[in-house]
Chains A and B, each alone.
Chain A
Amino acid sequence: MGETLQTLGIHWPKLIAQTVNFAIVLFVLWKWAYQPVLRMLELRREKIAESVAQAERIRAELEATERQRREILAQAQSQAQKLIEEARQAAARLHAQETQRAIAAAEQILAKAREAAELDRARMVTELKREVGRLVVQTTMAVTGKVLTPEDQRRILEESTRQIAA
């Protein structure tokens, strides 16, 4: 055992010195490599987790906004549809009213025209009767060659008027 150790050159002072050397390397790596790197990795891990959470939050907000936008859009569309429907109904109502009014006016005009025509006709018929009566009287006077009395004239006039009316 002792001979093997001697052959390999293992001696306490060298062993302790190399242990100290290894400890120094361990300290150097721990102090300036592992600690800062692990800290940085942890920091990065936290940031990534935070970013992921933030992205998730933004996604959720975006979804909510999108949902809200769609709702508003749907609402607006529904309102617009309603307004259009109302406008259409109002227009139809107005159209009907105006049509009714126009029809009434036209009927009124027609009635007035009919009435005026009736009056004109009546007046003309009256005038025609009177003229025919007068012509009958004049013809009678010319044919008979005598002067008719006012009474005869009136009677002839009434007679002719009655016959015309019949």
Chain B
Amino acid sequence: MTQASVKFGFWILTLAFPAAALAAGSGSGGHGPASGPPVSPDAPVLFHVGPLPVTNAMVYTWIIALVIFLVVRLGTRRMEEVPSGIQNLIETAVESLEELTKGLLEPKVARWAFPLVATFFLFILMSNLMGLLPGVGSIGWGHPGPGPFGVDHVEKPLLRPPTADANMTAAMAAVFFIMSTWWALRYNGPGGLIKHIFGVKGGMKGWIVVPLSLIFLFIGLIEVISICIRPVALAMRLYGNIYGGESVLTIMLTNSPLGLGALPFYFLELLVAVVQALVFTLLSIAFIGTLCSHVEEGSHSTSAEHE
């Protein structure tokens, strides 16, 4: 794709611009060139800031961060004892997430993990929902098409939901991995963590511990692999769902009359947006919980006793 053949344009294939959808649909007869997927798996680079490549997902991350900042500042600038409006909304969100975290983790661990898991939820939710706004993924650069700004297929969208960028989901998973490992070390201690993973569970004593320790060593190795795979699973699940949704929407928009075929999928994606945010958050909490708990030790004592 040479620069000369690429044109900045849009096909906001929503109900707001049905004509553009029609043009795009009839222009290419599908989702652009048959060589690639409807939506590029990687976030295209828009420009460079020094050595740093800036992708459309990064640009949208900044916009989402700005929106979050503005909403939060607006809601908590002058906090009142009797909440109303945006303050009420923010308080409800924060309190619900805090209760969710406290309900699944021990109080001490919940205090550590709450900011991170709450940010996971709020950021993923905002990103997923804002990814469904008209113009996201449909305004950008592509081969010239019908109309003054029309393109056959947007090959390089101006904006892309951060959760449809594997770099962002991997970044969040990496943060989760580093922080959960740190909290596991802080909670159990280095020796305690090794004992937690490889130790013989069930309060066994005597000669039986010797053969069992071999079994539990093997189980521990599987556990280590599981711990290492968790962030990968988290990142790929979120990325796959949102990227898949984007692809479905693009295909339905470009291959149905007036793009109306995408309408049911928008409702589905609304659901997916919330569910995926919740799944990422709940799994993060659950994974942290498996590393930071004393359930197996002693006579089923809870760690509340260790506080």
Contacts and interface: CB of A to CB of B under 8 A. Distances in A.
B228 interface: no
A14 B53 CA distance: 7
A29 to B, nearest CB: 5
Interface string B231-249: 0000000010000000000
Tell me the interface secondary structure of chain B in the complex. helix
A36 B86 CA distance: 14
Interface in B1-52: 40-43, 51-52
B122 A29 contact: yes
A41 B167 contact: no
Interface string B87-108: 0001100110010000000000
A38 B43 contact: no
Contact of B72 (A22, A23, A28, A41): A28
B interface, size bucket:
35 or more
B114 interface: yes
Interface stretch (B55-63, B129-137, B180-188, B263-271): B55-63
Contact of B171 (A22, A33, A43): A22
Contacts of A99: none
A21 B115 contact: no
B305 interface: no
Interface in B266-281: none
Interface of B: 40-43, 51-55, 57-58, 61-62, 64-65, 68-69, 72-73, 75-76, 79, 81, 83, 90-91, 94-95, 98, 114-116, 118-119, 122-123, 162, 165-168, 170-172, 174-175, 239
